[in-house]
Structure 1
């Protein structure tokens, strides 16, 4: 039986939220941020999670093991603003038990 995992998300105002993320719904980080309304409506996931807009860019703050970046994610990050070495697209990180303890910060709105 799957369990929820706890993920810490720092929003664009600098406030940190500890949220419960379901591992049995095939959700990604972008959808989690939207579900908890941690970014204003229309400012995150504007492409619907297709790795085409970078509005869900986030910074990974700890050493949680994440899946490798896809070519599409690499390409989008190469064109995005405010990119750092720890940047990822939230829409490309699917929630699993391996993400337990993940800490991220939402990148500034471009």
Structure 2
């Protein structure tokens, strides 16, 4: 696919799935995972108010800075790590090529 990047998602059972994501549609990492039928509840639909799309970044290029809403939600998560992000807040850009994330448990 032209104008696309590859991201890798580690599922809770340790399987790694490589996804191709278009950079020209304004999609989020969460939307790409859902489109590829990965188990991401994303209850709020990408509004950064439920944290059901929580991922841990294992490898990345240039991640965008976290906004206040995302930081607030992550602070409340029991499984948050230094590299936690909400996948709904990570927009697919060429800078994310090679991104590797691990799906995190909800509770």
What CA distance in whole angstroms lies between the structure 2 residues aligned with 1:12 and 1:18?
Answer: 15
Structure 1 equivalent of residue 63 of structure 2: 66
Q: Is residue 63–residue 96 contact of structure 2 (8 Å, CA) maintained in 1?
A: yes
Q: Which runs of 4+ in 1 moved over 4 A?
A: none
Question: What is the TM-score when the length of structure 2 is the normalising length?
Answer: 0.93
The superposition leaves residues 58-83 of structure 1 with CA deviations (integer Å, 9 ceiling, x where unpaired) of: 01001421000000000111112210
**Residue correspondences, number:** 106
What CA distance in whole angstroms lies between the structure 1 residues aligned with 2:50 and 2:81?
Answer: 16
Q: How do 1:15-26 and structure 2 match up within 5 A?
A: 15-26=15-26
1:37 aligned onto 2:37: yes
Structure 2 equivalent of residue 8 of structure 1: 8
Q: Is residue 11–residue 102 contact of structure 2 (8 Å, CA) maintained in 1?
A: yes
1:103 aligned onto 2:87: no
> Paired residue for 1:83, among 80, 84, 92?
80
What CA distance in whole angstroms lies between the structure 1 residues aligned with 2:102 and 2:67?
Answer: 20
Q: Is residue 8–residue 102 contact of structure 1 (8 Å, CA) maintained in 2?
A: yes
Q: RMSD in angstroms over aligned alpha carbons?
A: 1.2
Give secondary structure in 2 for the equivalent of 1:47. coil
Unpaired segments ≥5 residues, structure 2: none
Question: What is the TM-score when the length of structure 1 is the normalising length?
Answer: 0.91
